[in-house]
Structure 1
Amino acid sequence: MFLTGPAAMFAMLLTYPDEGPSPRPWVMPLVFFSLPLLFASLALRLALPVLKSAPQPSKDRSSAAVALCIAGLMFALALGPALDAIGLFG
């Protein structure tokens, strides 16, 4: 998020007009969460096979579970502003 923050601010600067609402309010959340969601989807892709194949009391299994929790949190954090930007909440 530290890498995509400045790019998201620049995208917001380019898409929001001086007066009135933006015609494209979804651009800033898309740019802001692009890299974190990419890494979260990769974590999802790598963690699911580990959870299926690793034995029950192993560090690999607990690391995969933590990665899935963090990925789920990232998806939830990205989904809220995106749905708010398209007008679902208000």
Structure 2
Amino acid sequence: MILTAPVSMFAMLMTYSSNGSSSRPWVTPLVLFSLPLLFASLALRRAIPALKRSPQGSGDRSAAAVALCLGGLVYALALGPALDNVGVL
């Protein structure tokens, strides 16, 4: 998110007018969470097979479980502002 924060600030400047309203409020959260969601989806894709193949007490299994939890947290943090801006929440 540190890498995408300057780009999302620029997206906010370009999509919001001077009176504070925007016709596209979803652009800024999309830009801000684009790289974290990409890396979270890659981690989820690698963690699920690691959970299936690793033995019960191995370190690979615990690392895969942590990756799944962090990936879910990133998805929840990205989905909350996006749904709020669309008007679902």
TM-score by length of 1: 0.96
The residue that corresponds to 2:48 in the other structure is 48
Which residue number corresponds to residue 21 of structure 2? Answer: 21
1:30-87 per-residue CA deviation (whole Å, 9 max, x = no partner) reads: 0000000000000000000000010000000000000000000000000000001111
Cross-structure match for 1:2:
2
Aligned partner of 2:81 in structure 1 is 81
Corresponding position of 2:37: 37
Identity %: 69
Name the TM-score, length of structure 2 as normaliser.
0.97
CA RMSD of aligned residues (A): 0.7
Structure 2: segments with no counterpart, 5+ residues: none
Q: C-alpha displacement at 1:88, in angstroms?
A: 1.6
Q: Trace 1:62-77 onto structure 2 (pairs within 5 A).
A: 62-77=62-77
1:20 Cα shift? 4.9
Task: Measure, in 2, the Cα distance between the counterparts of 1:49 and 1:66.
Answer: 14
- Distance in 2 (CA, whole Å) between partners of 1:20 and 1:35 is 26
Paired residue type of 1:59: G
Moved over 4 A (4+): none
Unpaired segments ≥5 residues, structure 1: none
